[in-house]
Structure 1
Amino acid sequence: MIKYTRCFSKLNNYFLKKIGKSKKISLNIHNSNFYDELEKDYNNNSSLIILIIVMLFATFYSLVNTENKAKEMAQKDLDSTDFRKVELKKESKSSDLFLIKCGSNVCALMDKNRKTYLEDAKNIVFSVQQIDTKK
């Protein structure tokens, strides 16, 4: 759609007028369309290249923005979540471990310094948690 409006050639002519250079009128051989087609192809190809470059930059910035928002949301969720405290049957390096999530065989644990560990579910001692019945 953009290439049919010839906006890039009009923009080129506008900038040439602003810098004081006008497009020279040259006489072509009668019925010779070689130079006209060459200029038309150049304008079409250059407009497509510019459009592709703009799309690539827009995609890149969109991905960077998405990654930054995801990091902020994850940090906010991590700060606001109250994790359940658990203990290990065997001795561990960290004394305070918190349960993040359990799968079928392993559980993800986190210590006070937010370092994560994967531990077998049978090695974890879950403490009894009192449920608040107030509504």
Structure 2
Amino acid sequence: MKFNFSLDTAIIISLITIFLFVSGQAYLGGLLRPFFVDPVVLNFSVQDKIYWGFLKALGPLITFFLFGITLYVLRYIYVSLDLDQTIVNFLRRKINFRFKHEVKPHNSSQIDSLEKSYTTFTIYVALIISFSVGTFFSIIDTQEKGKKNGTDILANIKEQPLVKITGAETNLKQYGILCGSALCAVIDEQKNVSLVEPKNVVYLSSNFAEKPENNS
């Protein structure tokens, strides 16, 4: 079972990075959807999306990782025990692929090799499809989690950090939702959403005041 360790490692890291990036993008899209804000407008960096993907899709990532290790072990056993030829022989017996009185062709080794290749190819295709479907549903689930969290924030905006927009003339309390590289999403107590530059957003000192403990 030959493999290029450096190449395989690079491919695995690339796939994990892409998965985290897409998961982060999906989560941020779901989170900001209740506020009718597009994550592209806030201009999240690639690192931000990977970070959010790591936070919100770590569970599925671990599941895929363990599943991959299991498949690697099974593949090792599969090749070591020559199970591909065993499967071919089993299918032949079940569907009467070769009759008992049939003369074995002189190039039977080539035919067996071709059948083994077909079997291996079919298994790989099935695994790729399974991984693709699992990844798709994982990303959809991450997006739904973001949407649920965004809906909870919208329903309880006073739990968000209290902010003040420099230069804005308003007496309404304003709360920070999320900041990207270019803009921040801010909502006031009447649930009006504004997009402002991060340098104009001031986090008020009341956010850092110690809350009184409940003695009960």
Shorter chain as denominator, the TM-score bin is: 0.5 to 0.7
Q: Which runs of 5+ in 1 are unaligned?
A: none
Cα pair 2:178 2:185 within 8 Å, conserved = yes
**Structure 2 stretches of 5 or more lacking a match?**
1-73
Match of residue 28 from structure 1? 104
CA RMSD after TM alignment: 4.3
How many angstroms apart in 2 are the aligned matches of 1:75 and 1:108? 15
- The 8 Å contact of residues 163 and 176 in structure 2, kept in 1 or not, is answered as no
Higher percent of residues as helix: 2
What is the percent sequence identity of the aligned residues? 21
1:37-116 aligned at under 5 Å gives the runs 37-82=113-158, 84=162, 89=167, 96=172, 98-100=174-176, 108-111=185-188, 112-116=190-194
- The offset of 1:97, in angstroms, is 5.3
Q: Distance in 1 between matches of 2:211 and 2:115?
A: 77
In structure 2, what is the Cα distance between the partners aligned to 1:48 and 1:22? 26
Query: Which protein has the larger Cα radius of gyration, Structure 1 or Structure 2?
Result: 1
Q: Distance in 2 between matches of 1:30 and 1:65?
A: 55
Q: 1:90 to 1:68 in 2, by over 3 A?
A: closer
Judging changes above 3 Å, is the alpha-carbon distance between structure 1 residues 34 and 58 closer, same or farther for their aligned structure 2 residues?
same
- TM-score, normalised to structure 1, is 0.59
Aligned residue-pair number: 123
Structure 1 equivalent of residue 27 of structure 2? none
Structure 1 runs (4+) deviating above 3 angstroms are: 83-92, 131-135
TM-score (norm 2): 0.41
Structure with greater strand share of residues: 1
